[in-house]
Each structure stands twice: as C-alpha cells, then as structure tokens.
C-alpha cells in the first residue's frame, strides 16, 4: 500500500477545497453576480446643475468621507437647514441667496454682494483640531473666521467681491495681527461653500469624495430622499447633486415611478427585478459626472422617498437580490410602457441582436393606454423639425416607409424634399420627431395632401348636391371633350346665363398623419402588458420569462 506524506495529504486537501469553491461559485448564478450595496444617483447635473442647493434634515448633518468600511468625519453641522453654494458671487434677494452676475466696473460699490475672494490667516494645519484651536485663539476681527478643508486645514475670513477689496481687508487685519501671515485666495472653480440661511459661511471645501449624511431623511431643494448627499463641482460648472443610497431603497423610489403603486403586486415584482437588472448592468453609466445613473427616463425614473408606495416597497423586498439571467449571465432587462400588441427584436430597434430580446405576441397590451395613437404634422412643421436638427431637405414633397421589421416596426423612413432626401432608421425616427410625439416606430403614414379639392355640384334639382373632385375633370365644350386640371375659371351655362366658376374652396395644406401602436422602443417587457398578465393570474416569474425568452429568475 502506497504511503502518503503529510505534504501530499496537504496538497490533496488544498485541491479539494479549491474544487469546492469553484463548485459553489458555479452553483447559483447569484453567487458570482456582484450586487452593489449602494448606488449613486444624479439628481441634478449638466444642464440641470445649480449654483446653490438647499439641504434640510431634522438633527443636522455630518460631513466626511469613507475610508475602507469606516466613515471619517470632517465637520458637524447642528443646523437643520444648510445651503451649499459654488464659490461665486451671491446676493440676498427676498430672503434667499441668489447667484449674482458681477461686473467689477459696474458693481464695485454695490453693498450686499458676497464674492469669491478670501483671506487665509496663518499657515496650513495638518488636523482640524489644530485649525480650530488657532481660530479660537484669534482676537476679534472685522469678519468672522471659518474653517476650510482644501489640501489641508485652513482658517479663512471674508467673502470679497474683488482682489482690491480683499487687499484692503488684509491691511485692516494686519493692524490686529501684525506678525501673522496673510494670503488672498481668489475664485476657484472646484471650491464649494457651506452657508446658513443668512449667508454666513460655516465651512468651505474643495470638491472630492465627500458627502453629507444625517440620521434622518434629507430634503434636497424641498424633495425628500433616503441615504446621503454628495455635492460635486466640475471645472466651469454649477453644482452636481448626487443621492448616494442603498440599492434596495433606490428601487423603492424607482418602481412606483415606472409603474403605479396600485397595480397588482406581481406586476410590480416583475418591474422590481427588471429595474434591479438594469441598475447592476448600468453602473457608472454617468461616470463622467461622478455617479452611476440619473433620475430621469434616460436611465430609470427615480423619485426618492416622496414617490414611494407601500406595495412597491413590498414588491422590492419580496424579490430582494432576485435577478434575471440568460445562460447564467445577467441580462439587460429593457422595458417599455406598451408594445401595441407585439414586442420587437433588439436588432430592429438598436444595432445588435440579443437572444433573449425577441419579438413576442403581446395581446396583454391591447386595450391599454397608448396601444393606439395618432399624430399629425403639416409639411411646414416637418420642414422646421428637420431644419432644427441639420437635416433639411428643403420643401417636403413626400414621406414614405421603405422597410419594416417582420413585427411591423419601421426600419427605414424616407423624407423627400426639393433639395434632397433623408433616410431615418429605427429609433433615429423617434429621436428626430421627439419620443413623446412619435411614441413608437410601429406606425403607418397617411398623406392628407392639398392635391385634392372638392366642390358641391347640383346635377338635378330633385337631388341633394354632390361633392365632386375638382382636379383633372373632363368638360364638354364647343370644341369637344377637354381635360381640365381644375374647374377654376371654367364658364358654365346654367340654363339662363353663363357663370364663371371662381373662389373654389381652398384645400388644406399638405399634412402627414402618423397612425401608430404602442409607446416605447418595444423591447422586452411591456409594463401595461405585465399589469394585464398579473390581473389574469400570472406570477412575476412567468411575466418575466414570457417577455424575456429563455431566461430564468435566480
């Protein structure tokens, strides 16, 4: 019998443990799918960024950052109301702080304007305690000092509108502190101010991985949110406002904004799983703005605590950590409002095919809001829409569908005009005309042109007048049968005298009528269809696996 050494036995055990670890990872896809604990949601950014943000919370705020699993506190604010501003010019207007368009030549002597020129007293300190001790040791100054966290701890005074005014203030302080170093710091595009309701400076910091937290719910400009608030400033921008929140609590604020909290619970569960999938797969979608997802339809609609509903919270809790997979991998669970009666293949809306996003019959969406819609454009309106997006074709002469998918959605729409033509493909059609106007790409185009006009003709006194087409008619004349492109100017004999036909009714200008079905891109789950399925007794897993073919809920 072969004898095994201790070293060989140890190696065998290590191999067996490794196999067990690999087996446990492969078993149950949720073991390998990383579900984040927190997500960062952009509340205001880009065009919606703001120069000032109001924060309110019972019990005040703590400000700091995370280091590993620990929170490092930098400042405590006892006030329930604080205001976060960019380093700029502000003036008090009707009790509110408002950013002011400052021009030095015009406003040099204007009182009441706070500016971004500050005076540093002393050197940089390595700790908050050292900076505070120094600040509290200072004699009475013309202006109250405050702490600044910017490449170390600093003590500053002043909110001066110009460098010259800051220089004058330095001279006054130097009379009080003759042996103390003074430096002027001008406006910084990444500096952020924290002030009270009267505009008094409480603190300043340079944008970074910092956030405000509270033991209670936080109001951001009057809207209530769970979690924490990060306020960032990028060079040349206003303030970007981010809600850093637990994933489950984020979904509390998503589900009732995507579907009604009064809908059947199984439909809301399906929405919760789809939204969870979307969130995980789209983390860092807005990395350039410092957060994961925005709060609008560009990502998922998120309303925070104000939008929550008890049934929606129940749906999120009862599907906690549940995700939808295909061949063991997390899927992009696209969803839309109403399919119009049939969903679509991914490649017929965007570019690439997805095996689990295939068109399926959807009778459950029929009869729900927006399963049918109509919008009418005059050719002049279409010309303006195209011109505004650099797609002008001159005077619009015709619009027609070149190609459709097997499921009915338009793949190519051609618009012909006096100076050329444009072919719009797939979702580009909705992008050009507006997603709320062109509700889907499943439509037909009907031309209501001005090439037809009519008039009422009395052919027999005993009969009612009859409307006839006045274009391209044949008239019997002394010379025989003549074709007329219009009856305008034709001389008729009515039995007693000759009458010239004039003032024919004016035809309406050319119009294009789009008769469509459904609202949204048509990929994946129809939200209204899910509602109907839930009403008919399907559970959330059956709803999801119907719309996302070949998938499973894990």
pLDDT band for position 28 (cuts 50, 70, 90): very low
Residue 354 within any structural domain of the chain: no
Please give the mean pLDDT across all residues of the chain.
Answer: 88
- pLDDT per position as a tens digit, 176-224: 999 999 999 999 999 999 999 999 999 999 999 999 999 999 999 999 9
pLDDT band for position 25 (cuts 50, 70, 90): very low
Last residue in a domain, options 208, 242, 276: 242
Can you give the pLDDT at residue 8? 47
In this prediction the pTM is 0.80
Last residue in a domain, options 225, 242, 259: 242
- pLDDT per position as a tens digit, 369-403: 999 999 999 999 999 999 999 999 999 999 999 99
pLDDT band for position 510 (cuts 50, 70, 90): confident
pLDDT band for position 521 (cuts 50, 70, 90): very high
Domain count, the chain: 4
Higher pLDDT, 407 or 93: 407
Distance CA 285, CA 276 (A): 15
Can you give the pLDDT at residue 486? 55
pLDDT band for position 458 (cuts 50, 70, 90): low
Higher pLDDT, 490 or 170: 170
Domain coverage including residue 462? 454-500
Residue 120 within any structural domain of the chain: yes
Residue 423 within any structural domain of the chain: yes
Can you give the pLDDT at residue 10? 45
Same domain, 137 and 174: yes
pLDDT band for position 501 (cuts 50, 70, 90): low
Same domain, 66 and 151: yes
Provide φ and ψ at 25, rounded to 5°: -70, -40
- Contacts made by residues 380-384, CB under 8 angstroms, sequence distance 24+: 380/509, 382/415, 382/512, 383/417
Residue 173 within any structural domain of the chain: yes
Residue 368 within any structural domain of the chain: no
Residue 197 burial by Cβ neighbours in a 10 Å radius (0-12, 13-18, 19+): middle
Residue 443 burial by Cβ neighbours in a 10 Å radius (0-12, 13-18, 19+): buried
Same domain, 258 and 176: no
Same domain, 111 and 228: yes
Same domain, 137 and 149: yes
Same domain, 287 and 230: no
- pLDDT per position as a tens digit, 44-73: 999 999 999 999 999 899 999 999 999 999
Last residue in a domain, options 242, 258, 288: 242
Same domain, 323 and 224: no
| End-to-end CA gap in the chain | 48
pLDDT band for position 480 (cuts 50, 70, 90): low
Residue 1 within any structural domain of the chain: no
- The 3 state secondary structure assigned to 345-371 is CHHHCCCCCCCCCCCCECHHHCCCCCC
When computed from its CA atoms, the radius of gyration of the chain, rounded to whole angstroms, is 34
Res. 508: pLDDT tops 50: no
Residue 311 burial by Cβ neighbours in a 10 Å radius (0-12, 13-18, 19+): middle
Residue 288 within any structural domain of the chain: yes
Identify which of 280, 186, 213 has the alpha carbon closest to the alpha carbon of residue 66: 213
Same domain, 259 and 233: no
Average pLDDT estimate for 462-479: 58
Same domain, 303 and 439: no
Average pLDDT estimate for 104-123: 85
pLDDT band for position 493 (cuts 50, 70, 90): low
Same domain, 392 and 492: no
Residue 163 within any structural domain of the chain: yes
Res. 33: pLDDT tops 50: yes
Same domain, 337 and 378: no
Average pLDDT estimate for 458-480: 57
- pLDDT per position as a tens digit, 282-334: 999 999 999 999 999 889 999 999 999 999 999 999 999 999 999 999 999 99
Same domain, 89 and 175: yes
């Amino acid at each position: 019998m072969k004898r095994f050494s201790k070293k060989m036995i140890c190696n065998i055990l290590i191999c067996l443990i490794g196999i067990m670890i690999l087996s446990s990872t492969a078993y149950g896809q949720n073991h390998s799918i990383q579900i984040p604990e927190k997500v960062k949601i952009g509340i205001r950014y880009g065009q919606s960024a703001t120069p000032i943000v109001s924060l309110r919370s019972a019990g005040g705020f703590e400000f700091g950052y995370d280091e590993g699993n620990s929170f490092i506190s930098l400042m405590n604010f006892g006030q329930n109301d604080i205001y976060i501003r960019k380093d700029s010019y502000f003036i008090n207007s009707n009790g509110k702080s408002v950013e002011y368009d400052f021009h030095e030549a015009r406003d040099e002597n204007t009182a009441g304007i706070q500016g971004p020129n500050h005076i540093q007293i002393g050197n940089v300190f390595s700790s908050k305690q050292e900076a505070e001790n120094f600040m509290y040791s200072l004699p009475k100054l013309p202006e109250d000092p405050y702490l600044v966290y910017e490449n170390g701890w600093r003590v500053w005074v002043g909110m001066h509108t110009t460098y010259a005014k800051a220089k004058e203030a330095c001279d006054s302080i130097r009379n009080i502190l003759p042996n103390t170093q003074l430096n002027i710091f001008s406006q910084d595009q990444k500096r952020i101010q924290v002030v009270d309701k009267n505009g008094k400076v409480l603190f300043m910091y340079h944008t970074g991985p910092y956030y405000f937290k509270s033991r209670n719910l936080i109001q951001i400009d009057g809207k209530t949110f769970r979690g924490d608030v990060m306020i960032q400033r990028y060079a040349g921008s206003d303030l970007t406002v981010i809600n850093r929140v637990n994933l489950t609590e984020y979904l509390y604020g998503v589900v009732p904004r995507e579907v009604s909290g009064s809908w059947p619970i199984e439909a809301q569960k399906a929405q919760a799983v789809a939204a969870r999938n979307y969130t995980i797969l789209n983390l860092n979608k807005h990395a350039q703005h410092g957060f994961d997802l925005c709060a609008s339809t560009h990502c998922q609609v998120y309303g925070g605590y104000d939008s929550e509903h008890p049934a929606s919270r129940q749906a999120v809790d009862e599907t906690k950590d549940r995700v939808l997979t295909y061949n063991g991998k997390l899927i992009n669970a696209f969803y839309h409002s109403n399919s119009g009666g049939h969903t679509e293949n991914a490649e017929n809306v965007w570019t690439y095919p997805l095996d689990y996003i295939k068109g399926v019959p959807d009778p459950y969406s029929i009869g729900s809001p927006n399963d049918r819609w109509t919008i009418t454009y005059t050719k002049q309106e279409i010309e303006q829409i195209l011109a505004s997006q650099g797609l002008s074709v001159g005077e619009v002469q015709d619009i027609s569908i070149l190609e459709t998918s097997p499921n009915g959605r338009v793949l190519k729409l051609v618009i012909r005009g006096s100076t050329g033509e444009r072919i719009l493909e797939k979702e580009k059609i909705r992008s050009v005309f507006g997603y709320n106007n062109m509700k889907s790409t499943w439509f037909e185009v009907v031309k209501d042109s001005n090439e037809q006009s009519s008039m009422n003709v009395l052919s027999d006194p005993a009969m009612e007048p009859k409307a006839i087409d006045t274009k391209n008619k044949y008239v019997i004349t002394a010379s025989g049968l003549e074709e007329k492109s219009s009856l305008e100017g034709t001389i008729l004999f009515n039995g007693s005298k000759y009458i010239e036909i004039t003032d024919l009714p004016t035809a309406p200008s050319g119009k294009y009528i789009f008769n469509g079905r459904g609202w949204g891109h048509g990929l994946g789950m129809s939200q209204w269809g899910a509602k109907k399925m839930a009403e008919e007794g399907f559970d959330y897993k059956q709803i999801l696996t119907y719309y996302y073919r070949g998938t499973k809920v894990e």
